[in-house]
Chains A and B, each alone.
Chain A
Amino acid sequence: MRLARYLLTRIVSYLLIIMVGMTIVFVVPRLTPQNPVVSMVARLTSQGTFMEPEALEAMRSSLMETFGLSGTLWQQYLSFWKRAITGDFGPSFAVFPTPVNELIVNALPWTMGLLIVSTLIAWIIGNFVGVVAGYRKGRWYSRVLESIAVVIYPIPYYILALILILLASYGFGIFVVGVGGYAIGLRPGWNWPFVSSVIKNSLLPALSIILINYGWWFLSMKALSSDITEEDYVKFAEIKGIPAGQVMTRYVIRNALLPQVTQLAMALGTVFGGALLTEVIFAYPGLGSLVYMAVSNADYNLMMGINSLSIIAVATAGLIIDLAYPLLDPRVRY
């Protein structure tokens, strides 16, 4: 019974969070002084084609309809929800008339490939190195590793990206500063020239994301595991004569891993927002660049599509974590 009540309140708050978040996404673009339809009509008529005033008016009203801008604010709000629930965000304004969904679907593999792979690599390395440094605290290498993480972690990720570009362009030729997702002139497909070009161009953006995330995973894992190392059951296991390696894997890692797994789930939820500045700096064709394009062109539909996706993803990740917690940790009961 308590479980049912917990489930109910958790799901209600999940839905409320999404509703309030999407409402903010709806309201903020409407604060823009520029009306996208007016500027679009201006763009079309400036190309020299003459149009009758009636035809112009007809085009204007049909565009208003397409972009969900017709009627009062309340009617727009209702039709926004209708679109959101059916999952059809209409045509993009910046790349008219490509549907928003198509743009998102094209950008999604790039962002997901880059972010999921680099998040996972950073998580694995950070946790592994972190647990060693936490278990063997006080050793010289633990202190060196910690100092490195403390210096890397606070750097804003786009500044780190700039530093990598600086290093790459001044002498450290191992990295090529690629622009875009792959070299110009290649045709996307499952062939080696294309795949290798994709990997080469993703190397620097991925490295900048891995380094920052590594710092975070390392620091939190080290803090967790150095606390656990102080626990009596670890001391007892050591006195019992269990080899250090086994103590680390069976006693320390297993207990420290739980918060790290939840945080990983949260981090994977934020993947759907894209790594905005990194993608813009490297001209990477993912969701982040798409958001930037949407904003700088006042593309309502595209903005709403991406922001709705990322709000739902973050909220869902939070919900899944809360619901899965009792499965991961038998001590937690609702």
Chain B
Amino acid sequence: MQTRVAIDDSLASEKKATGTLVGSLFDMYRSNLRFSVGISIIFLFLVFGFIVPLLAPVQPAKWHTVPRDLPPQLGHLLGTTSLGQSVFWFLSRAIGNSFVIGFVVAALGTVVGVIVGIVAGFNRGILSTGIGILIDTFIAIPALPILILLAFLLQGKASIFLLCAILSAFNWAWPARQVRSMVLTIRERAFIDVAFFANESTWRIIYKEILPHILSWAGANFTNTVLVAIGSEMGLAVLGLSSPERPTLGTMIYWALQYQALLRGIWWWLVPPVVTTVVLFVSLFLTSSGLQDYRAVHRVEA
């Protein structure tokens, strides 16, 4: 509970912080331990996934660029795979690709979810009921079997963006439901009525009065969806249903398992992606729960 104590101590300083996004991010970094630890590790991963691959002396995914099955040593920091790839360079490219998938899916899912949620929350008619049922259905249908089926149809041929689109289709319903219920409560507040009577347009009310209430929640949801999306792609990849030629954390595990890395004692092929996944997921979770904590404290303060 150190985080919460730290937050309480810094409440006074938070009051001084300006309402700008940068200001509150900086403030959050100082006051919330979970957020600062999480975001720092994510930053390191971003550097490792997007900047380090630019320095690669070999094409990370290309076969037979280095001797096979070398254990970790000087020159091959994390060893090499049975396919003749350097684990270090492959891993860095894989992290980058997994991030791309996570970010695209989270952005699509959150934006669509927020829009649908606002429409469903603001509309008081058949449209609202219809969207409500659609949302509940998408929450109730088992995503994984259908994802596996779709991936099976597209095996290997799916472009990264088609894959992202499919994953997004299963990640808009939850934010939509949350935003809808938030809009439903905000809509009943007096200031919305005042705005209506002041002859403000609906769009302006949504933009000026409702969106700011939702944005901080959307931030936490975004981070969480990055985690879910990377995890879903990984699940598909472990079954060999993503596109195996593209390096991601999941396909790396897939190839290691395909070549019996475990039985043959080539642990350096399997352990790096597994450890990376664990650290990455924990840091994403810390960031998103830090954002939620911060939001909760701010709401009390306001």
Query: How many whole Å from A22's CB to the nearest CB in chain B?
Result: 9
Q: At the interface, yes or no: A73 with Cβ under 8 Å from chain B?
A: no
Q: At the interface, yes or no: A200 with Cβ under 8 Å from chain B?
A: no
Out of B132, B140, B286, name the residue touching A318 (CB < 8 Å): B140
Nearest B-chain residue to A281, judged by Cβ: B238
Cβ–Cβ < 8 Å partners of B219 in chain A: none
Nearest A-chain residue to B262, judged by Cβ: A169
Query: How many whole Å from B87's CB to the nearest CB in chain A?
Result: 16
Q: Are A163 and B239 in contact (CB under 8 A)?
A: no
Query: Which of A47-55, A233-241, A290-298 interfaces with chain B?
Result: A290-298
Cβ–Cβ < 8 Å partners of B141 in chain A: 21, 24-25, 307, 311
Q: Are B262 and A154 in contact (CB under 8 A)?
A: no
Q: Are B238 and A158 in contact (CB under 8 A)?
A: yes
Mark A165-180 against chain B: 1 for CB-CB distance below 8 A, else 0.
1100110000000000
Cβ–Cβ < 8 Å partners of B140 in chain A: 17, 21, 311, 314-315, 318
Nearest A-chain residue to B271, judged by Cβ: A166
Query: How many whole Å from B150's CB to the nearest CB in chain A?
Result: 7
Q: At the interface, yes or no: B91 with Cβ under 8 Å from chain A?
A: no
Q: How many A-B residue pairs have CB under 8 A?
A: 119
- Tally of contact residues, A, Cβ under 8 A: 50
Query: How many whole Å from A107's CB to the nearest CB in chain B?
Result: 14
Out of B238, B274, B278, B281, name the residue touching A277 (CB < 8 Å): B238
Query: Which of B70-78, B107-115, B199-207, B227-235 interfaces with chain A?
Result: B227-235
Mark A38-80 against chain B: 1 for CB-CB distance below 8 A, else 0.
0000000000000000000000000000000000000000000
Q: Complex formed: what's the CA distance from A277 to B241 in Å?
A: 12
Q: At the interface, yes or no: A155 with Cβ under 8 Å from chain B?
A: yes
> Binding site of B, secondary structure by majority: helix, strand, loop or mixed?
helix
Out of A13, A17, A166, name the residue touching B274 (CB < 8 Å): A166
Q: Are A303 and B145 in contact (CB under 8 A)?
A: yes
Q: At the interface, yes or no: B198 with Cβ under 8 Å from chain A?
A: no
Mark A150-161 against chain B: 1 for CB-CB distance below 8 A, else 0.
110111101100
Q: Are A159 and B278 in contact (CB under 8 A)?
A: yes
Given A16-B133, A156-B281, A277-B235: A142 touches B1 (CB 8 Å cut-off): yes
Q: At the interface, yes or no: A183 with Cβ under 8 Å from chain B?
A: no
Chain B stretch 47-90: residues in CB contact (< 8 A) with chain A: none
- Tally of contact residues, B, Cβ under 8 A: 40
Cβ–Cβ < 8 Å partners of A277 in chain B: 144, 235, 238-239
Cβ–Cβ < 8 Å partners of A137 in chain B: 1
Mark B88-122 against chain A: 1 for CB-CB distance below 8 A, else 0.
00000000000000000000000000000000000
Q: Complex formed: what's the CA distance from A142 to B267 in Å?
A: 35
Out of A154, A165, A170, name the residue touching B281 (CB < 8 Å): A154
Q: Are A143 and B142 in contact (CB under 8 A)?
A: no
Q: At the interface, yes or no: A33 with Cβ under 8 Å from chain B?
A: yes
Q: At the interface, yes or no: B131 with Cβ under 8 Å from chain A?
A: no
Query: How many whole Å from B34's CB to the nearest CB in chain A?
Result: 8
Query: How many whole Å from B82's CB to the nearest CB in chain A?
Result: 17
Q: Are A28 and B239 in contact (CB under 8 A)?
A: no
Out of A143, A156, A166, A291, name the residue touching B145 (CB < 8 Å): A291
Mark B137-175 against chain A: 1 for CB-CB distance below 8 A, else 0.
100111011101110110000000000000000000000
Q: At the interface, yes or no: A115 with Cβ under 8 Å from chain B?
A: no
Cβ–Cβ < 8 Å partners of A156 in chain B: 231, 234-235, 277, 281
Q: Are A303 and B282 in contact (CB under 8 A)?
A: no
Q: Are A291 and B267 in contact (CB under 8 A)?
A: no
Q: Complex formed: what's the CA distance from A281 to B238 in Å?
A: 9
Q: Are A155 and B144 in contact (CB under 8 A)?
A: no
Q: Complex formed: what's the CA distance from A153 to B253 in Å?
A: 20
Chain A stretch 104-163: residues in CB contact (< 8 A) with chain B: 137-138, 142-143, 146, 150-151, 153-156, 158-159, 162-163
Chain B stretch 255-285: residues in CB contact (< 8 A) with chain A: 262, 267, 270-271, 274, 277-278, 281-282, 284-285
Q: Complex formed: what's the CA distance from A137 to B137 in Å?
A: 39
Chain B stretch 120-139: residues in CB contact (< 8 A) with chain A: 132-134, 136-137
Query: How many whole Å from A309's CB to the nearest CB in chain B?
Result: 10
Nearest A-chain residue to B149, judged by Cβ: A295
Cβ–Cβ < 8 Å partners of B238 in chain A: 158, 277, 281
Q: Complex formed: what's the CA distance from A311 to B138 in Å?
A: 10
Q: At the interface, yes or no: B2 with Cβ under 8 Å from chain A?
A: yes
Q: Interface residues, chain B, CB within 8 Å of chain A?
A: 1-2, 5, 34, 132-134, 136-137, 140-142, 144-146, 148-150, 152-153, 227, 231, 234-235, 238-239, 253, 262, 267, 270-271, 274, 277-278, 281-282, 284-286, 289
Instruction: Return 22 A-B CB contacts under 8 Å, by A number.
Output: A16-B133, A17-B133, A17-B136, A17-B137, A21-B141, A25-B146, A28-B149, A146-B1, A150-B285, A154-B227, A154-B282, A156-B231, A156-B281, A158-B238, A162-B274, A226-B1, A277-B238, A292-B239, A295-B148, A295-B149, A314-B140, A318-B140
Closest 5 CB pairs of A and B: A154-B285, A154-B281, A20-B137, A273-B142, A156-B231
**Beyond the given A155-B281, A166-B271, could you list 5 further A-B residue pairs with CB under 8 A, ordered by the A residue number?**
A138-B1, A150-B282, A166-B262, A276-B144, A277-B235
